[in-house]
Amino acid sequence: MVEYYFTNFSSPFSTFTIIWDEHGPELKVKRIFLSDPKIKSEEKAFEEFKTIKLGSSSIINSLGNKIVHFLEGEKIEFELQIVDFNQCFKVQKEVLLAEYGIPRGWISTYKRIANKIGIQNGARVVGNALARNPFPIVIPCHRAIKTNGELGGFQGGIEMKRALLEMEGIRFSNKGKVITNRIYY
C-alpha cells in the first residue's frame, strides 16, 4: 500500500497543502491543495486522501517555500520533474503542459489553449481539466480566462486568481474583465 504524506504551508492567501509519496529515493507530488474562502487546504487534503500522514522532506519544504515566494509576488520558475502526471488523463496532461508554457504576465483563454493542443470547440474540456489541476501554482492555471475577458474559476477562489494576475501586471476593467494585449497562443 502506498503511503501519502502531507505538509501545510502558510502564505498570504491562507494555507496550502502538498501531498506526496516516496518510492525509494524518488519523491512525487500527488496534489497541491489551495485554501478557498469556504474550506481550508488541509480539510480538502483529508477529504480526498483519507490516510495521509504528516511528513517532512527537504524537497517538499523547498517546493513549499518557492510557492510561498510566488504567492508573495516573486518571479519563480517551477520544475515539473517532481509532479506526478501519471494520475492525469492524456488530454488533461496536454492542457496542463500548455498552461505551464504561458509566461508570467501573460494570459490565455480556454479556447486558445484548446486550439493549441488540437481540440476544436474544446474550451469546456480545457476548463474542466484546469478545474481539476492537481498542481495549482506549479501549473499556473490562474493564467487561463474566458474568451470574453471574465476570469472563470479557480481552486483558491476568484479573489485569489485576480490578485495573482494583478501581481503579474494584468489589469482589470471596472467590470472585472481582464485588460491586456499579452495573450498567449
Over its length of 185 residues, how does the chain's per-residue pLDDT go in tens digits?
Answer: 789 999 999 999 999 999 999 877 789 999 999 999 999 999 999 999 988 999 989 999 999 999 999 999 999 999 999 999 999 999 999 999 999 999 999 999 999 999 999 999 999 999 999 999 999 999 999 999 999 999 999 999 999 999 999 999 999 999 999 999 999 99
At residue 50, the pLDDT reads: 85
Identify the CA nearest to 141 among candidates 81, 78, 87, 82.
Answer: 78
Coil vs helix vs strand at 147 = coil
What would the 3-class secondary structure string for 5-54 be? EEEEEEECCEEEEEEEEEECCEEEEEEEEECCCCCCHHHHHHHHCCCEEE
At residue 22, the pLDDT reads: 87
Cβ-proximal residues to 51 (8 Å cutoff; 6+ apart), any chain:
3, 4
Residues 61 and 101 placed together within one structural domain of the fold:
no
Residues noted as catalytic: 141
At residue 104, the pLDDT reads: 97
At residue 23, the pLDDT reads: 77
At residue 26, the pLDDT reads: 87
Residue 78 covered by a domain? no
Residue 62 covered by a domain? yes
In angstroms, the CA 90 to CA 80 distance is: 16
Residue 76 covered by a domain? no
Residues 34 and 109 placed together within one structural domain of the fold:
no
At residue 54, the pLDDT reads: 95
CATH number at residue 93: 1.10.10.10
Residues 96 and 175 placed together within one structural domain of the fold:
yes
Q: Which structural domain, as residue segments, surrounds residue 167?
A: 88-179
At residue 167, the pLDDT reads: 97
The owner of cell 518557492 is 66
Residues 102 and 171 placed together within one structural domain of the fold:
yes
Residues 99 and 175 placed together within one structural domain of the fold:
yes
Residues 166, 168, 172, 177: what is their CA dihedral angle, to the nearest 10 degrees?
-110
At residue 33, the pLDDT reads: 98
In angstroms, the CA 110 to CA 143 distance is: 10
Where a domain ends, among 71, 102, 130? 71
Paired residues of 8 in beta bridges? 17
Residues 106 and 169 placed together within one structural domain of the fold:
yes
Residues 113 and 164 placed together within one structural domain of the fold:
yes
Residues 151, 44, 65, 13: what is their CA dihedral angle, to the nearest 10 degrees?
50
Where a domain ends, among 71, 105, 126? 71
Residues 42 and 101 placed together within one structural domain of the fold:
no
Residues 44 and 112 placed together within one structural domain of the fold:
no
At residue 161, the pLDDT reads: 97
Residues 54 and 125 placed together within one structural domain of the fold:
no
Residues 175 and 93 placed together within one structural domain of the fold:
yes
CB atoms within 10 A of CB 74: 10
Where a domain ends, among 71, 97, 128? 71
Total-model pTM = 0.94
At residue 24, the pLDDT reads: 72
Q: How many domains does the chain have?
A: 2
Residues 50 and 99 placed together within one structural domain of the fold:
no
